[in-house]
Copies of this chain bind each other. A is one copy, B any other.
Amino acid sequence: MTSTASLHEFCARRGDVATPCRHCGAREFNICQALDAAQQDKLLALATRLQLGKRERLFAAGDPARHVYNLTEGAVSVSRSLADGRRQILGFLLPGDFLGLEPGESHHCDAETLTEAKVCRFERTTFETFLQDNPEVALRLLRIASSDLAQAARHELLLGRKTAVERIATFLLDLRDRSGARHLRTHPLALPMTRSEIADYTGLTIETVSRVLGRLRSGKVIELVGASAVRVLDDEELERLSGAS
């Protein structure tokens, strides 16, 4: 069951999520950091839990933005495409991550699962009412949005100014940092996305992604464990190659 394996891999929690992985229950939303138990229950009462398959779409650009979501299990890609099909992946979301907030009436990007996934879905209107009644959640969400903006800035720097090797090195380090520290050295780092998705995240082609990974492998910086896992052998070298901002 490879999909389950990588799904578990991705239950590894982000740094700012306090509680350990209990199969990524809803109380571990990033937005719940600001809430006491009673408020958490109130919020959870508003949620619809959804189980999604692999490569299932949550929403597409242009869809009316009726819901917001919180990922609790699995991994999701968020992307935006040109009319001719060229695609830019904006980010990969992991459990705890929040998505779907829009300034206007419709979604401005696509969201699709990479693995099987579970999300909690909220009616946008209901959620906004909850925010009005719970300002500390609104502030927490503001902090999350600021954090997303800072990540977007790093990604813009990667896309606009980094070389292919720097992009891949940065991508691997990001993924490593966001996955649980318990996996390092022991387990290899899971790559639930295809080469095509790595390419669309880094602004490269699949061939270049493959070649760069190959070069890192022959340079003993990483070890490829099948096509969808990597073990980092030389952290310092990878850091150096990433062109640390």
Spell out A's residues near B (CB within 8 Å).
61, 80-84, 86-88, 90, 101-104, 108-109, 128, 131-132, 135-136, 138-139, 141-150, 152-157, 159-162, 200, 202-203, 243-245
Contact = CB atoms under 8 A, between A and B. Distances in A.
A81 B152 CA distance: 14
A153 B245 contact: no
B156 A156 contact: yes
B155 A82 contact: no
A88 B150 contact: no
Nearest to A86: B161
State the oligomeric state as a number of copies.
2
B142 A138 contact: yes
Looking at A61, A82, A157, the one whose CB has the most chain B CB atoms below 10 A away is A157
Given A86-B161, A160-B200, 17 more contacts: A80-B153, A80-B157, A82-B157, A82-B162, A82-B245, A83-B243, A86-B162, A90-B156, A103-B150, A109-B150, A138-B142, A142-B142, A145-B146, A148-B149, A149-B149, A159-B160, A161-B203
